[in-house]
Structure formats: structure tokens, C-alpha cells
Structure 1
Amino acid sequence: MKTLEQLYLQHRGKVSDKWSLYIPEYDRLLAPYRDRSINLLEIGIQNGGSLEIWSEFFRNANKLIGCDINPDCARLSYQDPKTAVVVGDANADETERAIVGYAERFDIVIDDGSHTSGDIVKSFLRYFPKLDDGGIFIAEDLHCSYWQEFDGGLYHPYSSITFFKLLADVINHEHWGVKKRAEELLRGFYDEYRCRLSDGTTLESIHSVEFVDSLCIVRKLPATRNVLGRRFVAGDDEAVVSGHLVLKSQGSAQITPQQDTNAWSTLERSPAEAWQQQQAELVELHIRVGSLEGDVAERTRHASDLQQDVIQYERRVSDLQHEANQSKDQILTLKRDVSSFKRQVAGLQDDIARRDAGLAKAQQDIDALLHSTSWRVTAPVRWPIAKLVRIRHIVSVAMRAVRTNGGFKPAMHKALELYRKEGVSGLLGRLHPRTEGSPESARRNNYDEWIQRYDCIDDEQRVAIRQRVAAMTDKPLISVVMPTYNPKPEWLTEAIESVRNQLYPNWELCIADDVSTDPAIRPLLEQFAREDSRIKVVFREQNGHISAASNSALELAVGEWVALLDHDDLLPEHALYCVANTIVANPSVRLIYSDEDKIGASGRRHDPYFKCEWNTDLFYSQNFFCHLGVYHKPLLDTVGGFRIGVEGAQDYDLVLRCIEHIGVDAIHHIPRVLYHWRVHAESTAGGTDAKPYAALAGERALNEHFARQGVAGSVEWIERGYCAHYSLPATLPLVSLIIPTRNGLNLMRQCIDSIVGKTTYSNYEIIVVDNGSDDPEALRYFSSLGQDARIRVLRDDRPFNYSALNNSAVSQARGELVGLINNDIEVISPDWLSEMVGLVLQPGVGAVGAKLLYPDDTLQHGGVVLGIGGVAGHANKLAPQPCYGYFGRTGLISSYSAVTAACLVVRKSVYLEVGGLNEQDLTIAFNDVDFCLRIREAGYRNVWTPYAELYHHESATRGFEDNPQKQARFRSEVMYMQRCWGDLLFKDPAYSPNLTLDYEDFSLAWPPRVEPLA
């Protein structure tokens, strides 16, 4: 009879995977059962090879049952009729019923399932009662119980190894000496994993617990066999220690002394479990102490405020008298100034007259020159010189296009296709150099003119706003919180006056001065507090930096909402009206943010940041929430206000902690510039170089947020923003990379060689979909690909339908993840797939897109923006590299409404959930946009990453839309998208309504697509 090791060595069937230590141990443990008619249950069979080996080992077995949660195990079949497979979670009732349908009782149960502590404990409690007396339960791979990823740890109170150790105490229950049921020892496991034994007497049938490295063996015998029993005394000579012969004659049983006073025996829970409970109670006590301290501070502050009010009223009377005297002096001074100004105006009028005369003389000289003989003679020379530079540029671009496209004829096809898609402007756009500083771009981004047209309020609008405010039944009180420390007095004055000038009147300004050393600050703040009762000021006794000062200001706030304002920045007069209007219209909102711009020393506004709707992935890359940020006060109370230790990024940290308590639906964006951020040497408005510690503080805040949220990964500062690195799981999921093609030998070889040769992610398969190739060399190449076990070639001769080709391939893909790859893709960054997999495995993520470059290193895909060109366009297309785009977005991980399927990774379950690509209405174009919109509609977000970088030799084998049939098909696909998605195409939440839909460069919209202010 062969040993188990011999059976494993000669096995050639389905794969079985066991540690070498297990084989001789199983031989020893299972030898007594080998010739019996046993029933065996194995939980976790993977490829099913162990069942074939058990069939050889137990020749007389009655039933060998394997159970696995993997649905692919349903395909396993066995020649031995006594072998059966059940697919499902072994700890689910329906799966247990299916198992019991084959055998109600077992002699051997082997748990080789998920190895998580919870599953192991639940499997034991569910199936140990089904063992016959003399049966054995074996748990494998208990080394996992020391790992966090499997619900474990060396001292984890609820790890599987801790559970089996406790069973040793259960076996010795009769010796405890306290009135406690054995089952009480396992109560913590019952609560932790929400399970329990169906039969309370089962624990009495545990005969022994044996441990071998990574194995635990629990034997079952009748309860009567599991007690210490009576004492056996042999012999007659008792010369050394007497008393044993008396026991022999009495047949006395073992007697356990009472342990009711033993503190270690009367504990309700184990020390590890008790420690957890004490930690929770300690946190609760800290919270209560903090609350009581807050009450004491509030009462002390109130008493101080009352005393301060008395002092301020007395000062106010004195100041008013002084101001009256000053006013008389000022009137006399102003009269003298008026006389002086009149004299200056007269002088300026004389200067203007002299300038006009000079201009007239200059114009006469120019006219004389233009009509001179020399000017007319040199005209033929000047014209060619002026045009030469432009001609050289056009020729250079054209020749590069000929080389890139493989000759003159393909280049002309490409030009005609471009003309059909984008018209003359698109064609000229390729011939003209595109730079952000070009005159055309500068005209489109003339923010001064844009402000005059769309962001200035006239008296009629002011009246309308005041009428709307008066009609509000609920006017929320907005507390504007302002910490101050040595601001320029004139800037501080402007900041405070910008609040006082608000069209919405129901506000309070809460100022905390952090011990400013400038002697002008305190009297200035005191003066404002005297003039306006809505302005509250507290002067801190000790400098604590911005977080502590902000908390001091926050303590003054009694409003339901809090807006943050720096001591040198400005609010436009309609800012708080827009905020109040949003609060009233959206009762469930808890966080509000707006667009912003910067303001220089001269008062000129510039550099507007027109933001998108809430974008989690972009927020992890940059704090776009910052200005103007408005918070629900109860939410701030819940998170404890500003946190000490993250100064410079205290507002970033505050929002991170707030979003941990609310859903994204409670965050609202106002698409208007409601904040003017002052630019000066000490402000981060000009860049993080002014406060380098702010970047590091933001990095810390993000990493601690990830830790609190259980996100496996880390965040680092990368100069233009933050980069989130998401950890890959210990077992890498299989990715099926699907590449449709027709012929295209050179492109396919380049694509596959770059994937195989450069990709660092190891667990992938490549599925080449051959769509009717007829090139002999290409066919020979496809045949050779089969030599690599990771590559399959599927022949699909249907007429070209990109959607159908991919849908068919996905149905045959083995991977948990699917990658849609064009055949003209070439890998640049080796970790491209690791980056995309790390992102797509994050909760809530649907599709992930990559950064794609043209061969000339200009940007091809930086995310898809809806509405451009009527359907969609690529963000910052053709931007030269390196280019970080609008506010760094092209260099940061960000959510978009859609990403291109030229390189897209998605979970297969999500792909199937939304129905895959639309192969009926969108056979060629826009199928990826439609697919992504359906993913978003299903509740997921689509993410683009710049850290997965590849070349895209765009649609090189598909051909051009150069015949009436193709053009008609393209028009029908455009009409389908517009009919199906309607207004959504022009309200992209990942883009701003203040930015253009005519270009792909994030330039200004003329006019913006926002609702009228009043």
C-alpha cells in the first residue's frame, strides 16, 4: 500500500498544493481511517487535485466531498463516483445543506479554505458537530493567523490560533474550580464573528487538541471518554509517601479545589479582550473630560465677554466724542484737498491737449511714409520675409506628418480625416504651433475682459439679491472665522470690509488674534469690534500658530455654518448670498466650496481656478476645496475642529476628517469665484515654496486619513501636488489584456513586445482578437504567440465592430480584471499596469484610464471631457510634455466622467454589471464614453492616472472615415450619444461650466454655462 507521499509524487491529474510538512503528518493522522468506509469533507480545493489523491488513499471511502467558493470549480469532474464537489461559501446555510445532501456525518473534516480567522472559527463551529465519534477536524495554514490580512496577529484575541488554544482550556473545564460554562470562554469569538455552536454539548466531545507547525488537529470522542476519571493505584509498598493505598481502597475521584477567590480565574473575559474594552472606555472618558472642560471654558469666556462689553461701551462713548472732533478737522482738510484737485485736473487737461496734438502730428508723418515711393518699392521684399517663417513651420509640420504616417498618401488621408472631424480650424490648429502663451490662447483666456462681461454686479442685480434675501424664510447665520497674526493693517482692513460689504446680512465675523507683535493690529481690531456688533474678537494670551488660533476663533462662532477667511484675503460682495442660497436649496448639504482666483498688490484679479464637482481622487492629489470653504458647524464639532500639528495644511486635514463622516452627496460646489486669494511673498497663493512645511503637513494629513479609512497605501508630495500609491494585494489578481487587431504586424509586435518586455506586473494574460487578418506574415506571427502560455489568439471574422469584439473576448477572459488595449499601444512606464490595478481595486472605482502620448511626445489622452465637439474630447490634447495642464490636473490622479478604451482597466464584474460596450448602436466611435457613463450611472467613478504612461499610435490599422457609409455611421453614433445622454454631455461634473466646450485646453467659456446670479 503506497504512502501519501508516494501518491503525491506519482500524481499526474488535477493540481494539489500542500506544504511538505503536511504529507507525513497526514499519513500518520489518517492511517487509522484508510481502510474504513469514511466520509471526508475538504473545504477549499482550488484545482481539485487533493480529491483525486484522497480517492487513491481511501480506497474504501463512502463519500469524498470538496467545497470551494470559486464558481469555476463547478467545471471539475471526477471518474470516481464517490467524489463530489459543492460550489459555495462553506459557512453559508445553503452550502451546508448541499454538503449534507451528500453525507450527513463525517469522519474527517479538513479546512484549507480562505485561512482567515473568522472563516476558520465559523467552519469549526459549523462542521465539528457533524463529526462522528472518533472523527478528526484538521485546520491548515494556521500561520496566516499571525497576519493582519487574515484577521490575525501574534496577540490578536480573536485569531484562529487563539481559538484553538482556548479549546485546550475547554478540554480541562472540569479543573477550573469556578462555576463557569465552557462555552463562556468562546463568547468573544461568538460576538466577533456572529456565530455560535448549534449544540451546547459539542464542546464536551472535544477529546484532544494537537498542534503541528501551521496545523491544528482536534479529535472527537464521547463526553464520557473526555474526563479525568478515577485514580488507579498499583502496588503495596508505601515506604516514602503514604496515603495512596487508602485512595485505592476508596476509589476516590479527582477533587478540584475551589477557585472563587482566584482573580485570574474569575475574570469575565481574557486580558486581551478586556484591554480592548478598557481602551474604548478610556476614549469615552477622554471625550467626556474634554466636553466638561469645554463647558467650563465657555462659561469663563461668557463672563469675560460680559466684562469686555462694559469696557467697550465706555470706550465707544469716548471714541464717538473724539471722532466728532476729528470729523470737523477732516471737513476743513477735504475742502483744501478739493481746491488742490481742481488745480491738478486743469493741469492734466492741458497735458491731454498737448498729447493729442503730438499724436496728430505722428499720424501725419506715418501717412506721409506709407505714401512714399520707398515704402511702396520695398513692399515685395517685406511680404516674403514676413511669410517665410510661417511657411517653414508649415513645411516642417507637413514633412513630419508624412514620416509619421508612412508616406504622402496616408498623410493626406489623415489630413482629410482631420478636416472631416474638426474642419478648417482643426487642420490649421495642427499647422500652427500650440502653446499656452499663444496670442489665440491669450485672447481666449483674457480674464480681465471675462470679469467685465460675466463677473461684475450692477445695481440692478444688487437690488434683486437683496429682494431674494428678504424673501428667504430661513436665513442661516454664517460665522466667518478669521485667525490673524501680523497682517498688513491695510490688507486686514480690506479683508474685514469685504465681509461688512456682503449683500447677505446674516453673518458674524469671529477673529482670533494670535498675539500679533505689530502694535497697530490690536487697536484696529478693537475699533472694528466697536463699530459693528457682528464682529467678535478674542486676543490669545500665547501664540499657538494657525490651528490653535482658528480654534479660538471657532469658539466664538454661534452660527450653524462656518466660512474660513484668511486675514489678508477678500470675499466678493455676493459670496455669502451664494452660500446661503445653496444652504437653503440643499438641506442635506454639509460642506460647500467655490471657485477662486488670486489678487495682487495692485488689486488686479488673475489666475482663476474654475473647479469641478466633488472629485475624491483629485482631492487626494490637491486641496481644491480650500477657498471658499464653508462647513456645517455640528460637523466641525464632531471632528473636533482644527488639529494641532498639521499647520500649513490644517484646512486640508479638516476636510479630510469631515468627509470621513459624510457622503459625497453632502458636498456641494458653487461654480462662481467667491474668494480672492492675496498673492504676496509669505502666501502659498504664489506657490508652496513660501511655506514648504505646508506640503509636508498635507502629506501627513493624507497618510493619516488613509490609515483611518483602512486604505492600503501611502501618499507623497511631488512638487505639483500629491501622489497616492495604492498597495497591491499579496495575491495579484489576474488581468486579461484584450487586444483586437486586423493584420497590423508591426504594431502588434511592438505592442506585445513592449507589454511582455517592460511590464513589471506579473499576473496577466493577453488575448489577441484576430478580426479577419489575411496578411500571411501577420498570421504566422499570431501562430507563434501561442508559445507563450500567457497569450491566446481568438479568431473572430465578423465585420469590424469594436464593441462586439471586446464583449466576446471578455466573456472568454479568465481574469478578475479586464484591460482593453488598442493594438497601437506601446508601453513607456514599466509599472503602468501595477498603477492601474492598484487604482481599480479601490472601493467605488469603475474604470481606470492611462496617460497616452503621441509618438512626438505630445499628449493624446489626459482624460475625457464631455461636451467638447458636441459629444466629448480629450483634456489638454496635443499639449507638449512635460505639461501639467490646468492647475496641475494633467500631472495628478483625477476622476473624469470618461476615459479612453485605448488603454482601460476595469473589474470584469463591473464590465458585466453595466452590460459591456454597446455593440448595437456604437460599433466604432464613442463606445468607451458611453461605457464609462454607464459605469458612473451605476455608482462608480472613473479615474485617470498620469503614472501609467504609454504611447498611442492612434487608430493606425482601423483606416479612415473616408466613404459615405462610414461617415453616415459616424453621424448616427454622434446622434445616438446626444439622444441617449442629452444635457449631461454639457454638464460634465468633472469639468467646470466656466470653461470652454470649443477647445480642449481648459480655456475660459464665452459665455459660462451657469445660472444667472439674480
Structure 2
Amino acid sequence: MNAIYSSIKTFVRLFRNFWLSLFGFVRIEADLIAGKDVDQCHGGFVALGIDPQIIIRSRSKNLFPGWYLMSYRAQAGFSDCVFVPSIYPLHMSEPGSTPRFVPTNFGNTPDSIGLIFDQPDARPKPTDGSYSLKAHFSGEIHHLINYRFSAAGFRFDPFDADYPRTREPLKGWFDIKNLSITRLGFIPLIFFCFRTLFLNYPDTPVHHSWKTGVALFAKKGKSSLLHWLTHQTYQKIQPSPSLTYWWNFYQSTRRCTEKLTSRTTGSALISLVLYCDNSTKLPLNPCIRSIINQDCSDFELLVVNPEAMTDEDRFSLRSFRRASRCVITTCAEIHQEIEGEFFAILDQSVLLEPHAIASFKKAVELHNPDIAYADEVFVSGNSLSVSQISLKPAFSIDYFLASGFIGLPSLVRRNLVGPTNKSWMQCSANAVSELLVLSALQNTKRVLHIPDLLSRRIFTSGEPHTSRLSPQIVQRQLCNIGFTQASVEPSKDSAIFHIRFYEKNNGKTAIIIPTKNNLVLLRQTVDSVNQTVPKDLYDLVIVDHESTDPDCQMYLDALSKEHIVLSYEGVFNFSKINNFAVSQLKAEYDAILFLNNDIEAFRTGWLESMLDKVLRPDVGIVGANLLYPHDPGHENQPTIQHAGVILGIGEAEHFMRDERYYDPYAGEKNPDANQPALVTRGFSAVTAACLMTTPQVFKEAGGFDDSLAVAFGDVDLCLKVDNLGYKVLCDGEAVLIHHESATREKGGDIDPHPFDSEKFKHRYRYDVKQGDPFYHPLLVKNNFRYRPIRNPIPPSDPAYRIVDNPGFVNPGLNSNTPDRPN
């Protein structure tokens, strides 16, 4: 009897397992238990270290091998967080312990974050025995898993392979709520896959999918078909992180616009000029629908070139014309027809977000700008997949002239623009908008940037609607302002312009180079300057700080026969050394260039380009793009060391540091379209490794602050010059190599200049906290690499970037007007 009973029991168990594997649809009850580097709190979990782990235990120990749908709601309190989960067998779980940070730590304190993650360019390979799940942001998450671990449960690592690496470990609050684990038998799995692919997502190409599935089944059998089917389903229910995923997440987290709309009660009327362009080959109706669906109805629409409209477009406009003012007109009549205080040019490539007009109206009513612009997303053709997220800085006229960066739509005050003419019909909407902004700039008192994505641009490379204003028109505008010697020429990239404001200058620049020993580096710097700059344009001023190397002393003696060699004694103080050098200058110089003795110039024209800009009466300081040493045999592109300085990343960090350099003026295209072209543009500060100013500005700013002996003296000088109302530029046409820190010892992970850091941080604590106006708030701040922040949240009250008096000062004047972003 026992044998019979045992056989029946075995048969029932096998039949039950067979039934579950074929038809099972069972919800598994499970508990979440804090593991290594995690504490459980009332509202979720707290990550304490670099490897947070959660143990998921089945209450009935029935997590048998098979397919499971795991769902939960993820939340995180980190400002820049992406969940990159993996699951492991229980035997690989580690007990909780006090986190230790290796290899060293800042400030020699045991609880400081000493592990600084490098940012790899590839995800690490998963550990053997683990299952890597799809990365995701916060929100409702679904994973389709072919589970093969213990029936008792598994280990869940929510941040297992965070890529790209953050600068420091993700520490703080997070939560995994509403965990649901459902076992799917073969039939429910197939039903779930088909329902997901062909019912929930009707955009799936049915014919192509069936054809692929049949081919897989015929060639490789049922297992390959099932693998392909589950992979496609997983991709649908949990898309991989991408720009499109980022944009969809950003839209899904946007707060209700009722609050925004209810506050836009001012009287400023905005006129939208829809510029119909036959050459774009894009339908007009999507643009019209985006205008009709605006949350704010207090605006007018003018449609130019109505011949491009279809019957569908005209039908869409009929209902809109009943509720709002809609005028169909020609280019020559636009100025007479516009009733709004502000107007903006659009074309059919622009799809406005529903809150766009309300956002512009709110900004106008709060701050009364003359020009306003916002950020935009570029989508590819009919697929509407995001190809670029354009996050813009505060306004810089040099950046605008070089690249026309502000895009569509750009709001312009009507009374600052002259009458329209028929020549507009020969230009793209992009060029017309650029012309309007350029025409208005000289009389503009304020330009405002809204740090929010208010439009999508349907972008197809090479189409006319992406073209810029012609260089001849830009040059004519500069001549009208007073730069009669200005020249504007297209680079090898037609969207980037070479700009010179003056003809060749015959004055001289004093190039100040502090040094101590390191003959090889010093000789390299001096030789590179001699080879790339005409000798009549500069004098070298070498400041010898107690060199003891005999060969170096002999070299300095030889240099003193042609150039100036000064001796400086005392404790090393970068600020004092440079101030001392300036005080010893006897001749009259047009400009002063502070240059490190580890800088190498490798092409001509760099000094002339910097001098051309620093001599403008509105410019106070000009820096250069600096690259790390580059071996063309091993690296395709050089790496950026400096392209400007950004406040608020740490205290201050180099812009685009460690990214690959692509020369926009040489027509080199960056494969990452999200990264801006490194053309000439405004910054809050630049590095003194290569910094040019004029003697008058240097004296007015009070020179370098001697109390900042080594670190942040250059940033402090730039910020003082900013406060005087001058522009600080980084010259995109001046590119040099920086053999960084080869001349002085590094302090490892310990801050080598803590006094300087604390003094700078205290002096500019508000600016460091609020962030740099030339750096978008949706860009990551815990990492010097350039990328959008993860878990982006749209602003309900954007921190507007405002630039007062952004235009040029007439070159015939000696006074300067303020140009300080707020």
C-alpha cells in the first residue's frame, strides 16, 4: 500500500507540474528583505554602499523553474539614478556589512566617498549565474524572466551595473513597491506574448513578425521561436533605455499644466507665424494640430504661403478659426497683419507641446524679455523616435553667430524687428527666425531661456528647413553694428561660421609662462609658440620660480636674450606669480596671455583668433579648447581636457572633460548628436592654463586673488570679470594640447588645496548651489561627462536663464554694457 500511495503521490506531483508548466497562471507571494548595503525603513529602503542587495523570498517556496512576469513600482530619491537590476541565486547573497570605500578616500575619513567611478564605454559582463534585467527609470516596471534558481527565492540587486557610471555610489532612499511575481505556463505565456505584440501594441508589423517567426521555427525549432517571441515581448513591455525612452519618461512625469495655465493671466499676445514650406516634404497637419491643442488659447496664428496647404490642413484650421484669430497671408504682409506684442516663426517640422504657448506667456509676464527661446527634441521622420535632445545654455551672442543654436520657435518682440519683405520667401523658416533674432539683438535689453522642452522638431538631415542664414547677411549685420572689418565665412560644416571682427592686428601680446625646472615641457611650450605664432605678435615673459636644474637655467639664460625672463622667489603661489609678472611689464601690450608651461600649440592661428575676440569692448577674457595628448595610432579622436568651466559640478569642473573632441570647423561630426559642437561660446569661467585678457580688464578686476594660492584663482578672476559686465568666452578656433599636471605633483584622492577649495566654495556658495547659467539643469551634475540626467522631472517653475544687454558694444565706444546671466 505504501508503494501504491507513493506512486500515486508522485504521479499527482508530476501531473501537477505538467499542468502548471502547460496551463499554469499562478501568483507567487514573496517578501522583500534588506541585504548587503541596504537598510529597510518605513517608506522603503536606504542604500548605504556601493552594492545594495535585496533578498526576495517566496513564502510557499514555490518559485519553480519556468517563465515569470515580475512587476513592481520603482522609486528613487537620487537626483541622477537609473535602475540596472540583476538577479542572483540565494547562495550568492552576502550579509549586510558596514560599507568600506576603496581604494582610498577623500579627507582621510572612513565614511567619505573615496571610490570615484570611472565611466566605462561598455557595460560590464554579467557574473556567471546571474540574470541581467533591463535597465529602467522610476515608474511601473515589468520583467519577463526565464527563472532557473532556487524555489525559495533569489537575490535582487537594483543597481547592479549602473551604466554610465555615476561619479559616486548611489546612496539614499529608494523603494520597490507592489511587487508581483506571476508564473506563466506555456499556453498563458504564448497568449501573453501574442496579446502584447499584436493587441496592446498594434504598431507591431504583423506580416513581418509572422514571417520571421515561421522562418525561425522551420530552421531552429520551437526553442528558438519561443526565445524570439519572449525577447520581442520583453522589449515591448519594458523598452531599453534610449533617447526615446528618456523623452517618454519626461513627458509622463510632467505635472498637470492647470496650475501653469491658470497663472498666465497677462495681456501679452503672442503671434505664431506658420511658414509653409513646400521643399520640406513634411505634412503640415501635425504642426497645425499641435497648435490647435494648446492649453492656452490667447494667441493668434498667421499662415504664410497658403499654397502649400492641403484640403486636410484647411479643414483642421476651420474649427480653430472660429475660436481664435487665424490669418492666411503672404510674406510681404506679415508685419501689417501681426497684432501680437511678440511673434515666433514656425514651419511644419515643429510640433509644439501642449503647454508651450502658456510657458512662453508666463516667462514674458514674469520677466519681460525681448527674446525668449526654449529647448527642443529632434525626432526622426515618420517614426518619431528621438534622435537628439537639444538642451541649451543661457544666451551667448558668439554661440548664436557661430551656430545659430536657439532654434525654433524663438519669441521676438515685434517692435524690435523691421518690416518684412518678399526675399523671405527664398529662405527657410530657420533662416528667417535667425534673421529676426539677429536684427533685434542690438536693441534687445534682455534674452530669456526657458529650461524646458517645449517642442519637437521632425528632422531629416540635409533638408532645407535645417539651413542657416547666409554668412553674407550675418557679415552685413556686423558691419551695420560697427564692425566694418568683420568677415564671416562658412566652415567645412555649412552650419558653422568662421567669424573675425577685425583685420590683422599689429599690436603685441605678452605671453606669461610660470615655470620651475621641467626643461622638456618648457622647451616644448616655447618651441610650439615660436612655430605657430608670428614673432611680431608676442613677447614671451618666463617667470622662473627657483629652478635648480642646470640645463633649465642655461636654457632660461639663452631665452633672456630675446625675451623677458623674471625671477620669483618664495612659496609657490600661482596667483602671486602671475600678478608679479604683470606688474613687471614695461611695454604697452594689447593683450596678456597666461599660459602654463605644459601647453603645446600644434596649429597656427590660435593666438590671432583669441586676440580678435578679446579686443572687442564687450569681452573681458578669452580661453581656449584644450586637449589631452593624443596618439593617432591608438585613438581615433583626441580627448577633451577643457572647453570652458562649469560651476556646480563639485565646485567647478571643466566642460566636456574626457569626451572625444570633434573639430566642428573642420567638418568633423560627433556621432553623439546630443553633445554640442565646440564652437566659440560664452561661459562663466575658463581655465588660466591658456587665458587671454587685456591689461585694462585685468587691472579693473584687481588681478588674481593672492589668497587663492593654487586652485580656483582663474575661476575667481573670471567671475570678477563677469561681475564687471564683460563676456567670458571659450574660443572654439583656438585648440591646444595640455599635458595636464605634469609639472606639479598630484594629491591623489585627497584634495591637495583644501584651503583654496573651502575659500572658493564659501565665496561662491550661492552660485555653486544654484548651478551654472551656461549649463542646463537637466544635465548631470554628479559627473563631469556630458549627458542628460536620468529620472528627468519637468520643472513646474523653471529657473529661467536671463542675459541682460546681450548684444555687442559698438566697437567705437570705450564703455561696456552688462552681460551677466542671472
Q: TM-score range by the shorter chain?
A: 0.5 to 0.7
Mapping for residues 151-550 of structure 1, pairs under 5 Å: 364=65, 426=116, 428-429=118-119, 440-441=163-164, 446-451=242-247, 454-456=250-252, 461-469=256-264, 472=265, 474-486=266-278, 491-516=283-308, 520=311, 523-524=314-315, 527-528=318-319, 532-538=322-328, 548=331
1:919 paired residue number = 706
Contact 1:743 1:775 in 2 (8 A): yes
Contact 2:556 2:565 in 1 (8 A): yes
Matched, 1:993 2:758: no
2:499 paired residue number = 725
Task: Give CA deviations for 1:237-259 in whole Å, capped at 9, x if unaligned.
Answer: xxxxxxxxxxxxxxxxxxxxxxx
- Cα 1:833–1:522 change in 2 (3 A) is closer
> When you count strand as a share of all residues, which structure comes out higher?
2
CA shift for structure 1 position 514:
3.8
Contact 1:484 1:512 in 2 (8 A): yes
Mapping for residues 132-147 of structure 1, pairs under 5 Å: none
- Cα 1:794–1:583 change in 2 (3 A) is same
1:563 paired residue number = 344
CA shift for structure 1 position 908:
1.1
Contact 2:378 2:389 in 1 (8 A): yes
TM-score norm. by structure 2 comes to 0.64
Task: Give CA deviations for 1:82-106 in whole Å, capped at 9, x if unaligned.
Answer: xxxxxxxxxxxxxxxxxxxxxxxxx
Contact 1:993 1:1010 in 2 (8 A): no
2:404 paired residue number = 623
Gaps of 5+ in 2: 1-20, 29-62, 69-102, 125-160, 168-240, 631-637, 664-669, 799-822
Q: Which amino acid in the other structure matches residue 370 of structure 2?
A: R
CA shift for structure 1 position 497:
2.5
Contact 1:849 1:905 in 2 (8 A): yes
CA shift for structure 1 position 500:
2.3
Task: Give CA deviations for 1:262-298 in whole Å, capped at 9, x if unaligned.
Answer: xxxxxxxxxxxxxxxxxxxxxxxxxxxxxxxxxxxxx
Contact 2:297 2:324 in 1 (8 A): no
Distance across 2 between alignment mates of 1:443 and 1:606: 23
Task: Give CA deviations for 1:434-453 in whole Å, capped at 9, x if unaligned.
Answer: 9xxx9824999854454455
Distance across 2 between alignment mates of 1:487 and 1:743: 64
Q: Which amino acid in the other structure matches residue 842 of structure 1?
A: R
Q: Which has the higher contact order (CA 8 A, sep 6+)?
A: 2
Gaps of 5+ in 1: 1-352, 368-414, 541-547, 679-684
1:812 paired residue number = 584
1:673 paired residue number = 453
Distance across 1 between alignment mates of 2:781 and 2:516: 35
Q: Which amino acid in the other structure matches residue 702 of structure 2?
A: G
Work out which of the two has the higher radius of gyration on C-alpha atoms and give 1 or 2. Answer: 1
1:659 paired residue number = 441
Contact 2:543 2:577 in 1 (8 A): yes
Q: Compute the RMSD of aligned alpha carbons.
A: 3.8
CA shift for structure 1 position 897:
1.0
Q: 2:373 aligns with which of 565, 585, 593?
A: 593
CA shift for structure 1 position 572:
1.0
Q: Which amino acid in the other structure matches residue 536 of structure 1?
A: C
CA shift for structure 1 position 522:
6.5
- Cα 1:602–1:716 change in 2 (3 A) is same
- Cα 1:446–1:975 change in 2 (3 A) is farther
Q: Which amino acid in the other structure matches residue 654 of structure 2?
A: H
Matched, 1:853 2:617: no
Q: Which amino acid in the other structure matches residue 163 of structure 2?
A: E
CA shift for structure 1 position 581:
0.9
- Cα 1:795–1:890 change in 2 (3 A) is farther
Q: 1:578 aligns with which of 349, 355, 359?
A: 359
Distance across 1 between alignment mates of 2:294 and 2:24: 43
Q: 2:390 aligns with which of 601, 609, 613?
A: 609
CA shift for structure 1 position 606:
4.7
CA shift for structure 1 position 933:
0.7
Aligned length: 580
Matched, 1:938 2:724: yes
2:760 paired residue number = 977
Contact 1:479 1:559 in 2 (8 A): yes
CA shift for structure 1 position 595:
0.8
Contact 1:646 1:698 in 2 (8 A): no
Q: Secondary structure at the match of 2:351?
A: coil
Q: Which amino acid in the other structure matches residue 897 of structure 1?
A: S
Q: 2:566 aligns with which of 767, 789, 794?
A: 794
- Cα 1:559–1:731 change in 2 (3 A) is closer
- Cα 1:955–1:529 change in 2 (3 A) is closer
Contact 2:578 2:704 in 1 (8 A): yes
Q: Secondary structure at the match of 1:787?
A: coil
Q: Which amino acid in the other structure matches residue 548 of structure 2?
A: D
- Cα 1:1008–1:742 change in 2 (3 A) is farther
Distance across 1 between alignment mates of 2:754 and 2:774: 26
Distance across 1 between alignment mates of 2:714 and 2:549: 28
CA shift for structure 1 position 894:
1.0
Q: Secondary structure at the match of 2:686?
A: coil
Q: Which amino acid in the other structure matches residue 258 of structure 2?
A: V
1:128 paired residue number = none
CA shift for structure 1 position 731:
5.0
Contact 2:626 2:738 in 1 (8 A): yes
CA shift for structure 1 position 523:
4.2
1:929 paired residue number = 715
Q: Which amino acid in the other structure matches residue 972 of structure 1?
A: F
CA shift for structure 1 position 478:
1.6
Q: Give identity over the alignment, percent.
A: 25
Matched, 1:702 2:702: no
CA shift for structure 1 position 1000:
2.2
Q: Which amino acid in the other structure matches residue 440 of structure 1?
A: Y
TM-score norm. by structure 1 comes to 0.52
Q: Secondary structure at the match of 1:756?
A: helix
Q: Which amino acid in the other structure matches residue 566 of structure 1?
A: D
Q: Which amino acid in the other structure matches residue 468 of structure 1?
A: R
1:173 paired residue number = none
Mapping for residues 106-117 of structure 1, pairs under 5 Å: none
Contact 2:290 2:353 in 1 (8 A): yes
Q: Which amino acid in the other structure matches residue 809 of structure 1?
A: A
